[in-house]
Structure 1
């Protein structure tokens, strides 16, 4: 939303025009004299209202509806470009299609759908609705980059998420800001910053800006980061609590993922029978059919099987299957994880 750092007669006149009020109605709306309003419009940039009147003008702009704010911005910045309502509808449709494509790991088409807007539009020239859609598109681009393993750098998930967080902070949408902070913590974990990620997950697990499901996910990911650090017993306790939360919330897919992660934590603790028990639950109860989740599940299954000499060959076979799917869908981060597991077994 446009803001005014220092009101002059020019900005005051633009606000009156945007509100479509006569000078008398505008004076009454602000609670100032008609003479003051006439003086502002007569002198323009050569006059600045008193500090208390500046605050009154701030309040009047903040309380204006979206259409009036757009008119105000158009008067002050006639060169700025806005998206039309038809653009908003088309853009929203492309975002919804991109969500489906990313869930199916169809990254090239998802990238095309998002970048047809991101590459064409300047966020500094968008009104609030357009800026909101720009932020949503950036988040989805970040999800795409994260799934592909592009974690840091100017063309990375981290960069896209940080830019989107700035946009939703400006728009004052705290739920979106918190969701992005959760995604940034995931990027930290994937980048190997396990302690920092665990701390951030713990904070977000108590953050009321997030939905109960997202807070339960944050608790689960605390356990994931701890398990990667070797704190498997404590990680198991946290993951079990998260699994119960998913059961209470009626989230079967998240419940299945929690058991997948519990299997890896029990494997890390050396409890292979329980690890196999949990991975069997995850394999039999998962409802999603995305390539990403299949690769993750096969990777976890193969990792558990490799831990027992009797099932080592089966584990290698399952990992080969996971690696093939990861290469097919461009899941570079998952492929690196599989290669790391293989190197660990060879070492």
Structure 2
């Protein structure tokens, strides 16, 4: 086995995974701070380790068994940085999801999975390159040559924007793209035909429309154009002068900033926008409370990715208070905000910070039957899959991917994080497990 010339966070995390150690356990093994090891996981090859840590890792690697070295080489050559490599980093490490007798999903406290065939007779579509290209063309040139843009009646425009939101949250992305490609060219002519009080409502709807555009572009990994869409959402909402609309548009801007690596700016934006909507509305409506809480959750994620534990914890607690004030799990102003949503974010943030044990405990408390949005439920299954892969329980990781596929097939096909998990499973497994991984990937349309 060739020695590691220079240890970065990527190689260090590959060794941790090969040893099947938690962040905390690996830190104790090395005599390093847990925060330091978590940073290696989250920042990968952007972090070059100190000389003393390089020497310590050299020693650990030379003392490993051949089996561990084989796993290490596979992980390192695959370029994995572990469970925290993705821009939306989550990985539950000791929880399993199963389908109960009533058909809803629960978390099984003993960690066992009821095996089930999730792939039979499922017909799905995938976000295609031509569909995304059509969306981008509609953003860049809303009025194609030789065509006259057509205005829509205001009520139809409002219904179509709402339908796009519903399709997005249900992970029906091809339908979303088709709607957006029709709605974007209609924006300017429809606004020109709108007047009076409806004009401000239209601008708020335009902010919602570009929010969906940005969200879809983030799904397919077009971070630059997602940032453009987020800026347009922010601009339209500002024109409306609706404080809740402006706060809602700040959510997609925060998400786009995070995806482009601007964690500190994203956290600050979320905090500022939450404060603004609180002061301007006094949180007198359910929409205001939901958007306020959702902004805090987004800011908490940004803070966690920036390794600002105190801010992440404070924003989570404030969001929990808002959820208590709201009193139910709802989807006001398309936020999906509520008590369960806060719990999902607690799991996410614990894992982002490397606290796998805490994340496991929290994940077991999630009442999956109260997650009304397919996207959110699928994301939890994906996080569980990443966690089990990190933990070396590969069959459980595959089962979790199957669970996500059952909930939202299009979500599984389009997310880069899923492709990375499946690729890791294909590299790390052998025998019947690897065959099952490859069969699943082929059926689901995932490249490994």
TM interval, shorter chain, is 0.5 to 0.7
- Aligned residue number for residue 3 of structure 2: none
Report the alpha carbon displacement of residue 259 of structure 1 after superposing the two structures with TM: 1.8
The structure with the greater share of residues assigned to helix is: 1
Mapped to 2, the partners of 1:271 and 1:205 lie a distance apart of: 27
Q: Quick one: structure 1 residues 192 and 136, their matched pair in 2 at CA, closer, same or farther if it must change by over 3 Å? A: same
Mapped to 1, the partners of 2:200 and 2:324 lie a distance apart of: 36
* Contact 1:233–1:269 (Cα < 8 Å) also in 2: no
- After superposition, residues 105-184 of structure 1 pair within 5 angstroms as 105-120=171-186, 122-123=188-189, 125-128=192-195, 129=198, 132-133=201-202, 136-137=205-206, 139-147=208-216, 148-149=219-220, 151-153=222-224, 156-184=225-253
2:348 aligned with 1:264, yes or no? yes
Report the alpha carbon displacement of residue 279 of structure 1 after superposing the two structures with TM: 0.8
Report the alpha carbon displacement of residue 184 of structure 1 after superposing the two structures with TM: 0.7
Q: Which runs of 5+ in 1 are unaligned?
A: 1-80
Q: Quick one: structure 1 residues 105 and 261, their matched pair in 2 at CA, closer, same or farther if it must change by over 3 Å? A: same
* Contact 1:246–1:254 (Cα < 8 Å) also in 2: yes
Report the alpha carbon displacement of residue 186 of structure 1 after superposing the two structures with TM: 1.6
Q: Give the alignment partner of residue 376 of structure 2, picking from 277, 293, 299.
A: 293
- Aligned residue number for residue 318 of structure 1: 400
- After superposition, residues 79-118 of structure 1 pair within 5 angstroms as 87-118=153-184
Report the alpha carbon displacement of residue 226 of structure 1 after superposing the two structures with TM: 2.1
- After superposition, residues 1-347 of structure 1 pair within 5 angstroms as 87-120=153-186, 122-123=188-189, 125-128=192-195, 129=198, 132-133=201-202, 136-137=205-206, 139-147=208-216, 148-149=219-220, 151-153=222-224, 156-207=225-276, 208-209=279-280, 211-232=288-309, 235-252=312-329, 254-282=338-366, 284-285=367-368, 287-309=370-392, 311-319=393-401, 321-322=403-404, 328-329=410-411, 332=414, 335-340=415-420
Give the alignment's TM-score, normalised by structure 2. Answer: 0.49
Mapped to 1, the partners of 2:353 and 2:186 lie a distance apart of: 51
* Contact 2:270–2:298 (Cα < 8 Å) also in 1: yes
Mapped to 2, the partners of 1:230 and 1:340 lie a distance apart of: 23
SS at match of 1:206: helix
Mapped to 2, the partners of 1:229 and 1:342 lie a distance apart of: 27
Mapped to 2, the partners of 1:344 and 1:192 lie a distance apart of: 24
Mapped to 1, the partners of 2:178 and 2:160 lie a distance apart of: 10
Q: Deviations over 1:183-234 (max 9, x none)?
A: 2112111332212111111212211346222222222222211222334465
Report the alpha carbon displacement of residue 324 of structure 1 after superposing the two structures with TM: 8.0
Mapped to 2, the partners of 1:271 and 1:160 lie a distance apart of: 34
Q: Deviations over 1:67-90 (max 9, x none)?
A: xxxxxxxxxxxxxx9968xx2233
Q: Which runs of 5+ in 2 are unaligned?
A: 1-148, 282-287, 330-336, 429-448
- Aligned residue number for residue 127 of structure 2: none
Mapped to 2, the partners of 1:169 and 1:266 lie a distance apart of: 34
Q: Relative contact order, CA 8 A, sep 6+: which one is greater?
A: 2
Q: Quick one: structure 1 residues 111 and 338, their matched pair in 2 at CA, closer, same or farther if it must change by over 3 Å? A: closer
